[in-house]
Amino acid sequence: MGRRIAVIPGDGIGPEVIAQGRRVLEAAASRQGVSLECVEYDVGADRYLRTGEILPESVFSELQQADAIYLGAVGDPRVENPHYAAGILLRLRFELDLWVNLRPSLLMAPELTPLKDAPQIDLVVVRENTEGAYVGIGGQFKRGTADEIAIQEDVNTRKGVERVIRYAFELAATRRAAGRPGRVVMVDKSNALYHGHDLWQRVFALERERAPGTEADHLYVDVAAMQLVKNPARFDVIVTSNMFGDILSDLASQLVGGLGLAPSANLNPQTRRGLFEPVHGSAPRHAGKGTANPMGAILSGALLLRHLGLERAAEEVEQAVAASVRAGSTTGDLGGRLDTSAVGEAVLERLGERIEAWPRS
């Protein structure tokens, strides 16, 4: 049975990493007898600069119909409109109600971490993806004058906080069943944001009662950032707000090799809609040079395959990436000498290769 994947290569290194992601994704699915019908959409800075359109309605409605969306990156130094990235990426997250953003960090080879003693790192940030400081409520008054005021509201709803914290507990239970610690850490800043994040505290207490078998505790975001560097092995599932999740997931990615390797899935578990994209942005300095690491995009493709129920294909992609990393078949950011497409090739060649000591999903 074919599945329809809407592909938005986007800006900067987006098209380069997505090209490699597509190759690997299509090959891995085909090894399971599944064909993926990938449809590429011309959405991004070039279109915006050419036509003034950010995300045309006709494209948006097609994206809504797809089995999954696969996106490279959006962001271009030529685009000054501050609503541009929000008009594509945040719009898709909000309007498709993709309320959970999963950002796993797994240390695939000890030499990838900048930390001493190569600790075991296998954690996932569960980022609330439709609320918080990202909703765009606010405004500016007396703009450009000495008296100007800029307000950006932080929105936390009972429904939004509850569903994402509950999801984190469910994910922890699934991970425990697979032999991992299955521990939840809820991260907020309720000592300063004592309206919005007090709601996170109260909902967390209720959800913890509903899951008595799950170890769970709380950290303020400043301490969580420090602990991630000091003792990353203590973390398993981190659940947090939109902005803190954005920041902590970049931090966590660097603990295991950096942004070039970091995947993400934006999901609505009820509607089964999903958007899959590397955590990194368009990295304009790398664009067009063949220096971009496609592994974050390829691993996002694995999350996409898992979302489509193609677990075996997803595992094969993850193992092939890990095998390539361990063999040193990487771009410069990971210490290798290959270019973007040679890394795609190296991963393709290793599909089906099984590696030692790989955590089960």
Q: Taking the complex as a whole, how short is the minimal distance between the CB of residue 202 and ligand NAD, in angstroms?
A: 31
Q: Catalytic residue at 134?
A: yes
- Asked about 46 being catalytic, the answer comes back as no
Long-range contacts of the stretch 111-115 (C-beta < 8 A, 24+): 111/335, 112/256, 112/257, 112/258, 112/261, 112/325, 112/334, 113/255, 113/256, 113/257, 114/254, 114/255, 115/229, 115/232, 115/255
Q: Which of positions 142-201 make contact with ligand NAD (CB under 6 A)?
A: none
Please answer whether residues 72 and 11 qualify as being in contact, where contact means their C-beta atoms are separated by less than 8 angstroms: yes
Q: Which of 7, 85, 184, 238 binds ligand IPM (CB under 6 A)?
A: 85
Q: Which residues contact 80 (CB under 8 A, 6 or more apart)?
A: none
User: Which of ligand IPM, Mn ion, ligand NAD, none interacts with 283 (beta carbon under 5 to 8 A by kind)?
Assistant: ligand NAD
Name residue 79's amino acid.
Answer: V
For ligand IPM (CB under 6 A), the number of binding residues is 6
**Spatial distance between the Cα atoms of 24 and 1, rounded to a whole number of angstroms:** 18
Which range of residues in 94-102, 149-157, 229-237, 274-282 is near ligand NAD by CB under 6 A?
A: 274-282
Contact map string, positions 158 to 197, toward ligand IPM, x by CB under 6 A: ----------------------------------------
Burial class (CB in 10 A: 0-12, 13-18, 19+), 56: middle
**339 is annotated as an active-site residue:** no
Residue 92 binding ligand IPM, by CB under 6 A: no
Cα–Cα distance between 306 and 310 in angstroms, integer?
A: 5
Binding mask 7-36 for ligand NAD (x = CB under 6 A): ------x---x-------------------
45 vs 216, which CB is nearer to ligand IPM? 45
Three-state secondary structure call for residue 264: strand
Instruction: Count each helix (H run) and each strand (E run) in the chain, helices first.
Output: 12, 12
Q: Smallest gap, in angstroms, from Cβ of residue 246 to Mn ion?
A: 4
- List, in sequence order, every beta strand (DSSP E) within 250-340: 263-268, 273-278
Is the separation of the CB atoms in 132 and 245 below 8 Å? no
Whether 168 contacts 184, CB under 8 Å: yes
State which residue, 170 or 345, has the beta carbon closest to ligand NAD.
345
Residue 20 or 242 with smaller CB distance to ligand IPM: 242
Q: For residue 222, indicate whether it is catalytic.
A: yes
Please tell me which residue in 194, 217, 222, 289 is annotated as part of the active site. 222
349: three-class secondary structure by DSSP: helix
Catalytic pick among 154, 188, 236, 246: 246
Interface of this chain with Mn ion, residues 223 to 252, rule: CB under 5 A: 246
Active-site option among 134, 154, 167, 188: 134
Residues found near Mn ion in the complex (CB under 5 A): 246
Catalytic sites, residue numbers = 134, 189, 222, 246, 250
Return residues touching ligand NAD (CB under 6 A). Answer: 13, 17, 73-75, 85, 89, 259-260, 277, 280-283, 285-286, 292-293, 296, 333
Binding residues (CB under 6 A) for ligand IPM: these are 75, 85, 89, 246, 279, 281
